[in-house]
Chain A
């Protein structure tokens, strides 16, 4: 691997981590939004609070990592993307800001009325953000970001690949979140809540799977370079993703929640990886390759130093955070108001 490719790999590792961790975070918004009125939805919303409360901020930093690595490692392509995809970037940003703020506000809001307002903002913006991030990915993957920037501000992201990309992003986020929430609820002994969540997650999973296959048809026409990659080099990953997705559903139905989590991560992770491999060696498809887009060598080396430091300094406490907040059962919380 060349130096720019190494940095691109590090960048993509961030995309992957954000897709999985941030995605599972975002997806909780779907279940929160559809949980029902305040009495009926209390159990789901409390579970959402508890599951992502301690980790959402850390999960969110992956996005900052991705942006920073992108503009430092491949500066001109970053400027090209922001000038072309101004609108979806802005709307994704809006979603991210509203969601983080509203989530924190809701947790400490003083009245049910306030909690409702913040909750609605949190849940709705949780769908907004992945949708527009998905359209950005679609625009890049379908070769709509010109190297010199200032591409078509509307058609660049209002097209089949982008819109399907957005919808798929929302679906996969919800799917991941559903699997995680179900597992968390079951581990905490909230049987009725786990049952509802499981049922709804299976629904989301089937719908998202159908969406992914439906999307293949327009993508084959609309994004030929990506399509070549997906059906060629990345085909095994696409197949793996499909298999893992089905496995997740089967495991959910059989109450094997811990295993279902692994399968779901595999399913979504391999789709993302497939996209990356599918568009390799392009950074902006059909416009700029990784080698062409790379910034100064000294900076790329510096970035790799930062990444190395991150592995040493950030990963161990991150693992500690997930271990201590996510894995032990919090059995003292009862199954209150679930599934009614």
Chain B
């Protein structure tokens, strides 16, 4: 707990703590839906294309259903993203005032991509049975591209907060602003790659989990097989690639944000070579309850079994991030990532040797679990990155207390935000469940219940 209060030493603005919590909740919620915006159009495309090209009725039906699910998810994804746009100003005026023109341009391009995504989503949903099938299918491609470009742009802002460029501060004034340097910063590429692949993991495992659950209940038809295989295939590739990208990303931290890396590794003192600490917490300034594997800390953090890993002793005390939150979140992500990578490799080897892993209940159970695990890894990754950046909002440029609003009412807005997100989660769950139930009952078109029966779609 003292960890969390570290920022509260001096007179902090009244809004600091609730603003941080509110930002965390809204970003944590948005990011899951954003993943669907990034990865789902591609998966729908693969299934829909199969339906059109091979004249496969099962695939076509699946694509049609997924597009309705996408309609719901993208709608709440869009509104929760709007929340973030407001919150940037409402919660972080100290960031947006002085630095709005430094970090804003990527958001402008992000806005462009969301426009494209929203337009083509509208066209695609409307186009079923109304457009030539092949043209209709192609509408998914701009959506997929827009989702990728949009998330690249947002990530570039986040990368800038971690590796600021494109401006100078002279006598407290921000000058020499070069917004393009933010958009094309070298720091973005890796972060984006990691996020992009993470999105495919999350969507792939979550969607596959739905169909694995169906198979567990005995629904073993072509529909469920296809619904499982396509997203699971995407997720598998992503799961194998992800640890590699994550590892390279971690190595960069040694140069750019050593304090964050030290917190990740629970390194209080500089060690050469450093051990890998599994588990563990910082208690009264000392790492406890961990399992140490010699030398591996150096390898993971620096890519060599001999290089030193800088400890927190090299960082002034007031610049420490909340170590425990950062460390636990980081290890959760890495642990889950490693587990999932190993699991999919085993799965495909078994498949390749002619077995059918899906015939076994434990495999299906594991596939169901992989969905929530991937989401947890994603959330942990963000918590590690964002909390590990503390006490800086912009690394070594702007402290979080200076970014936060001085509004005492934020606890109210935070409570409201929690209620709102809870409500939306429950409502989304109820609606998606009832859609699935109606589909199983043979109602393909899901007319709105208050409308005349003959409304199409």
- CB closest residue in chain B, given A301: B179
- List which A58-107 residues lie within 8 A (CB) of chain B: 58, 60-61, 63-65, 67-69, 71-76, 78-83, 86-87, 89-90, 93-94, 96-98, 100-107
Q: Are B90 and A108 within 8 A (Cβ)?
A: no
Q: Are B405 and A64 within 8 A (Cβ)?
A: no
A55 CB-CB contact with B under 8 Å: yes
- CB closest residue in chain B, given A104: B75
Q: Are B454 and A333 within 8 A (Cβ)?
A: yes
B108 CB-CB contact with A under 8 Å: yes
Q: Are B430 and A325 within 8 A (Cβ)?
A: no
A259 CB-CB contact with B under 8 Å: no
A321 CB-CB contact with B under 8 Å: yes
Cα–Cα, bound, A63→B83 (Å): 11
A243 CB-CB contact with B under 8 Å: no
Known: A58-B115, A93-B86, A105-B428. A46 touches B448 (CB 8 A): yes
Q: Are B450 and A42 within 8 A (Cβ)?
A: yes
Of A79, A86, A109, chain B has the most CB atoms within 10 Å of the CB of A79
A337 CB-CB contact with B under 8 Å: yes
Q: Are A82 and B448 within 8 A (Cβ)?
A: no
Cα–Cα, bound, A110→B74 (Å): 19
Q: Are B455 and A333 within 8 A (Cβ)?
A: yes
Q: Are A55 and B78 within 8 A (Cβ)?
A: no
> A residues within 8 A CB of B121?
57
> A residues within 8 A CB of B110?
68
The segment out of B42-50, B94-102, B276-284 that lies at the interface is B94-102
The segment out of B122-130, B267-275, B291-299 that lies at the interface is B122-130
* Interface secondary structure of B, over-half rule: helix
> B residues within 8 A CB of A63?
82
Cα–Cα, bound, A55→B120 (Å): 10
B346 CB-CB contact with A under 8 Å: no
- List which A17-63 residues lie within 8 A (CB) of chain B: 38, 41-43, 45-46, 49-50, 53-55, 57-58, 60-61, 63
Known: A79-B89, A82-B90, A332-B454. A107 touches B448 (CB 8 A): yes
Of B116, B127, B431, chain A has the most CB atoms within 10 Å of the CB of B431
- The residue from A75, A82, A108, A320 contacting B98, defined by CB atoms under 8 A apart: A75
Cα–Cα, bound, A89→B85 (Å): 11
B105 CB-CB contact with A under 8 Å: yes
Determine the interface band of chain A, counting residues with CB < 8 A from chain B.
Answer: 35 or more
Cα–Cα, bound, A324→B126 (Å): 9
Q: Are A78 and B89 within 8 A (Cβ)?
A: yes
- List which B391-416 residues lie within 8 A (CB) of chain A: 405-407, 409, 413, 416
Known: A75-B100, A108-B431. A310 touches B123 (CB 8 A): no
CB distance from A295 to the nearest CB of B (A): 3
Cα–Cα, bound, A224→B91 (Å): 32
The segment out of B194-202, B230-238, B433-441 that lies at the interface is B433-441
A210 CB-CB contact with B under 8 Å: no
> B residues within 8 A CB of A306?
105, 108-109, 111-112
Cα–Cα, bound, A314→B437 (Å): 37
> A residues within 8 A CB of B349?
none
Determine the interface band of chain B, counting residues with CB < 8 A from chain A.
Answer: 35 or more
Known: A54-B125, A58-B118. A302 touches B78 (CB 8 A): no
- The residue from B93, B435, B454 contacting A110, defined by CB atoms under 8 A apart: B435
Q: Are B100 and A332 within 8 A (Cβ)?
A: no
Cα–Cα, bound, A78→B119 (Å): 28
A299 CB-CB contact with B under 8 Å: yes
CB distance from B199 to the nearest CB of A (A): 20
B214 CB-CB contact with A under 8 Å: no
B451 CB-CB contact with A under 8 Å: yes
Q: Are A298 and B431 within 8 A (Cβ)?
A: no
- CB closest residue in chain B, given A43: B452
Known: A86-B90, A336-B452. A61 touches B435 (CB 8 A): no
Q: Are A302 and B450 within 8 A (Cβ)?
A: no
Q: Mark A100-132, 1 if CB is under 8 A from B, else 0.
A: 111111111111101110110000000000000
Cα–Cα, bound, A24→B32 (Å): 30
> A residues within 8 A CB of B115?
58, 61, 65, 310, 314, 318
Known: A94-B416, A101-B79. A64 touches B178 (CB 8 A): no
Q: Are A38 and B450 within 8 A (Cβ)?
A: yes
> A residues within 8 A CB of B120?
317
Q: Are A119 and B450 within 8 A (Cβ)?
A: yes
- The residue from A68, A72, A101, A321 contacting B427, defined by CB atoms under 8 A apart: A101
B138 CB-CB contact with A under 8 Å: no
Of A57, A69, A94, chain B has the most CB atoms within 10 Å of the CB of A57
Known: A54-B122, A317-B119, A332-B454. A60 touches B111 (CB 8 A): no
B152 CB-CB contact with A under 8 Å: no
Of B75, B99, B108, B121, chain A has the most CB atoms within 10 Å of the CB of B108
- The residue from B88, B180, B407 contacting A86, defined by CB atoms under 8 A apart: B407
Cα–Cα, bound, A60→B100 (Å): 22
A313 CB-CB contact with B under 8 Å: yes
Q: Are A45 and B451 within 8 A (Cβ)?
A: yes
Q: Mark B169-182, 1 if CB is under 8 A from A, else 0.
A: 00000110111100
Q: Are B448 and A302 within 8 A (Cβ)?
A: no
Of A46, A90, A153, A299, chain B has the most CB atoms within 10 Å of the CB of A299
- CB closest residue in chain B, given A93: B86
> A residues within 8 A CB of B413?
90
- CB closest residue in chain A, given B120: A317
- CB closest residue in chain B, given A307: B108
Of A58, A67, A333, chain B has the most CB atoms within 10 Å of the CB of A58
Q: Mark A322-337, 1 if CB is under 8 A from B, else 0.
A: 0011000000111011
Q: Are B105 and A72 within 8 A (Cβ)?
A: yes
Shortest beta-carbon contacts, A-B, top 9? A72-B104, A75-B100, A295-B101, A110-B434, A79-B97, A336-B452, A296-B177, A104-B75, A82-B89
16 of the cross-chain contacts (CB-CB < 8 Å) are A46-B448, A68-B85, A76-B97, A81-B89, A82-B96, A107-B71, A110-B437, A110-B438, A114-B434, A118-B427, A299-B104, A306-B105, A306-B112, A317-B119, A324-B126, A336-B451
